[in-house]
Amino acid sequence: MGGMSEQIAPTDRTRLRRLPQRGVFDRAVIEAILDEGLICHVSFCDEAGRPCVLPTGYARDGGRLLLHGSRKNAALLAALSSEMTVCVTLLDGLVLARSAFHHSFNYRSVVLYGRPVEVTDRAEKLAALERIVEHIVPGRAAGSRPPNDKELDATLVAALPIDEVSAKVRTGPPKDDEEDMDLGFWAGVIPVRLDAAPGEPAPDLPAGIEPPEYVRRYRRAIS
Amino acid sequence: MGGMSEQIAPTDRTRLRRLPQRGVFDRAVIEAILDEGLICHVSFCDEAGRPCVLPTGYARDGGRLLLHGSRKNAALLAALSSEMTVCVTLLDGLVLARSAFHHSFNYRSVVLYGRPVEVTDRAEKLAALERIVEHIVPGRAAGSRPPNDKELDATLVAALPIDEVSAKVRTGPPKDDEEDMDLGFWAGVIPVRLDAAPGEPAPDLPAGIEPPEYVRRYRRAIS
């Protein structure tokens, strides 16, 4: 995160009208959130103009977000052929204030708007799928069989430019009103995070295949 | 979860066309997912028909989902005045198959469609806000100051009936193709879950106020 940080230009949609101090347009911060998340929520409007939402895996590849799924997945096909909004949310803490009103979450979220473009070039598609596996479990691409032609054909890959994007971040203790400070209630933050347990081998795993280091040492929170 | 379980009728939107074995219409399962989640992603279409998504807190109150936010929050106001789709996703594991293609997540998710109705009755609104605090930290409503009139007026509360709804659940080990079983790769699941750390007292907390039991013993995963 050293060096010059690139600031992203806000648009009408990404500029925060409320609590603007929580808005972040620093590309390095946005990328770090995208890199830590495991799933995103894709929002799109169907042909009748009704809202749809789809949780799915993804990966960041430089300045674009990669999405993938089965060609038989009608919801994904609809999402990938329309304008979409993608949200990645990391929950960091439960903020307990003296007043119910000032309760909050500590979180880091990214919202990204755009229209995905299908990745059709075979080599590019293979690289994108490898990137998605590596995003979820770094080291795993070399520890599994790459897609064959049939699997590649059955998979749709799309890329969304990370351009119209912003992050929102809340950190730190609760902020109570002055007159509530002496109420005697406990106040503070319960930190939360996604933790991984030791890998559970598949029941049909042949004896003698030990979990690789990227499984034994799996840990998500990068910060 | 004992006794008769209520089955929810699928609609065109909630019926799974792909991998129907992952679709769940059992109300008890759907409610358990909603009760374990901390945040939901609200999807809606803006006036120009563009998709929007908003991560936010919520609570389940019997057969309805409660949402709330500041009256100054333009995105929330837009969401609450239109048809919305709400998604709650719990990530349970990273599924590592021998083939990249069969990699997956273990997860439990709920998607709920509907049009929220504002809660305006004062007593009902207070009860809804208490319910939201209790959903996030059980025990906390009695451990904090309830909203006053000014705070109530500044807060919008809406309820969404849990009617057009379905869950999707994947559990268990990877499912590999027969011809990949002897490739020698490790296969299995890395379990993940949201874990809480000990509560961090606010820097301005007076000496002698110890964390209550609901903070010391906070634990999210109910199952």
Q: Look up the ipTM and state it.
A: 0.94
| DSSP per residue, B112-168 | EEE--EE---HHHHHHHHHHHHHHHSTT-GGGSBPP-HHHHHHEEEEEEES-EEEEE
Domain ranges of chain B: 20-174+188-196
pTM across the whole model: 0.94
Size of interface A-B (CB pairs under 8 A): 286
Q: Is the model's pLDDT at B1 over the cut of 50?
A: no
How many Cα atoms are found within 13 Å in the side-chain-facing hemisphere of B103? 30
- pLDDT at position B18 is 65
Task: Identify the band that residue A222 occupies on the pLDDT scale cut at 50, 70 and 90.
Answer: low
Mean pLDDT of chain A: 93
Number of C-beta neighbours around residue B155 at 10 A: 18
Number of C-beta neighbours around residue A94 at 10 A: 24
Which residues of chain A neighbour B13 with C-beta distances below 8 Å? 50
A175-211 confidence digits (pLDDT tens): 999 999 999 999 999 999 999 999 999 999 999 999 9
| Contact criterion met (CB below 8 Å) for B56 and B132 | no
A80-105 confidence digits (pLDDT tens): 888 999 999 999 999 999 999 999 99
For chain A, the residue count is 223
| Contact criterion met (CB below 8 Å) for A36 and A90 | yes
Find the CB nearest A196 among B74, B188, B192.
B192
Does B221 contact chain A (CB < 8 Å)? no
Question: To which H or E segment does residue B54 belong?
Answer: strand B51-57
- pLDDT at position A4 is 61
Residues ≥6 apart with Cβ < 8 Å to B72: A18, B154
Residues ≥6 apart with Cβ < 8 Å to B197: A190, A191, A192, A193
| Contact criterion met (CB below 8 Å) for A62 and A127 | no
Q: Is the model's pLDDT at B3 over the cut of 90?
A: no
Give the neighbor-by-neighbor strand order of the sheet with B64-70.
B59-61, B64-70, B155-161, B117-118
Instruction: Look at A24-38, B157-171, B208-222 and tell me which has the smallest mean pLDDT.
Output: B208-222
The vertex-B50 CA angle with B47 and B52, nearest 5°, equals 100
Q: Is the model's pLDDT at A2 over the cut of 50?
A: no
- pLDDT at position A27 is 95
Taking only residues 159 to 188 of chain A, the set having a beta carbon closer than 8 angstroms to any beta carbon of chain B reads 173-174, 176, 180-188
Question: Which amino acid is it at A53?
Answer: V
Asked if A188 and B211 come within 8 Å (Cβ–Cβ), the reply is: yes
- pLDDT at position A22 is 74
B115-153 confidence digits (pLDDT tens): 999 999 999 999 999 999 999 999 999 999 999 999 999
Strand partners, A195: B193
| Contact criterion met (CB below 8 Å) for A147 and A129 | yes
Q: Is the model's pLDDT at B203 over the cut of 60?
A: yes
- pLDDT at position B68 is 96
For chain B, the residue count is 223
Find the CB nearest B39 among A89, A176, A180.
A89
- pLDDT at position B17 is 64
- pLDDT at position A31 is 97
Asked if A51 and B38 come within 8 Å (Cβ–Cβ), the reply is: no
Number of C-beta neighbours around residue B183 at 10 A: 14
Distance of alpha carbon A16 from alpha carbon A69, whole angstroms = 32
Residues ≥6 apart with Cβ < 8 Å to A207: none
Task: Identify the band that residue B103 occupies on the pLDDT scale cut at 50, 70 and 90.
Answer: very high
- pLDDT at position A1 is 40
- Mean pLDDT, residues B93-109 taken together: 98
Q: Please state which architecture CATH assigns to domain A20-196.
A: Roll (2.30)
* Shortest alpha-carbon distance between residue A36 and chain B (Å): 14
Distance of alpha carbon B73 from alpha carbon B156, whole angstroms = 9
Distance of alpha carbon B201 from alpha carbon B92, whole angstroms = 29
Q: Hey, what CATH topology would domain B20-174+188-196 get? A: Pnp Oxidase; Chain A (2.30.110)
Q: Is B102 helix (H, G, I), strand (E, B) or coil?
A: helix
- Mean pLDDT, residues A121-150 taken together: 97
Mean pLDDT of chain B: 93
- pLDDT at position A178 is 96
